[in-house]
Amino acid sequence: EDSPDGFRILSAGSDRAAGTYSTLLADVAIEVSGILASQFAAHDLDPRTAPLYAQMLVGIVAMPAQWWLENRSMSKEEVAAHMVNLAWNGLRGMKAEPTLHSGPAGGSSGSDNTDTGASGPGTDSRTKGSAHRHSTA
């Protein structure tokens, strides 16, 4: 927050600066991956997937940080609260083996169903926790 120009240079500047930013994010992801792997193993989740989830979590922070520098319509506290909400609530309902299911055969909606085991917004109580993602493309 104190050096937005420096962050802009690192995150969207020259190839050299972008490489530095990418290296920084990769280092953070490696640390997060180690933490997740031990937690996944303790909760009967496949620790081999920890690097993938680490990348996703780092993205939850890195991309909104770039967005916030250009669009300060929300306070940093609000943005942080939303990031934590997504990360925490998204991780709480993780399934050991999530799967994707195609929509009904011959349907033109282009929808996919993701069995995440989550409940809440975007879920249908009739499906006992299956989240539905609808594509409009």
- Interval 89-100: pLDDT, tens: 888 888 888 898
Enter the tokens of residue 37: 């792997």
The per-residue b/e assignment along 53-91, b for 16 or more CB within 10 angstroms, e otherwise, is: bbbebbebbbebbeebeeeeeeeeeebeeebeeeeeeee
10 Å Cβ neighbour count for 32? 19
Q: How far apart are CA 8 and CA 11, in angstroms?
A: 5
Beta bridge partners of 102: 112
pTM value surpassing 0.75: no
Mean pLDDT in the chain?
74
Confidence check: pLDDT of 134 > 80: no
Residue ranges per domain, the chain? Answer: 4-92, 99-133
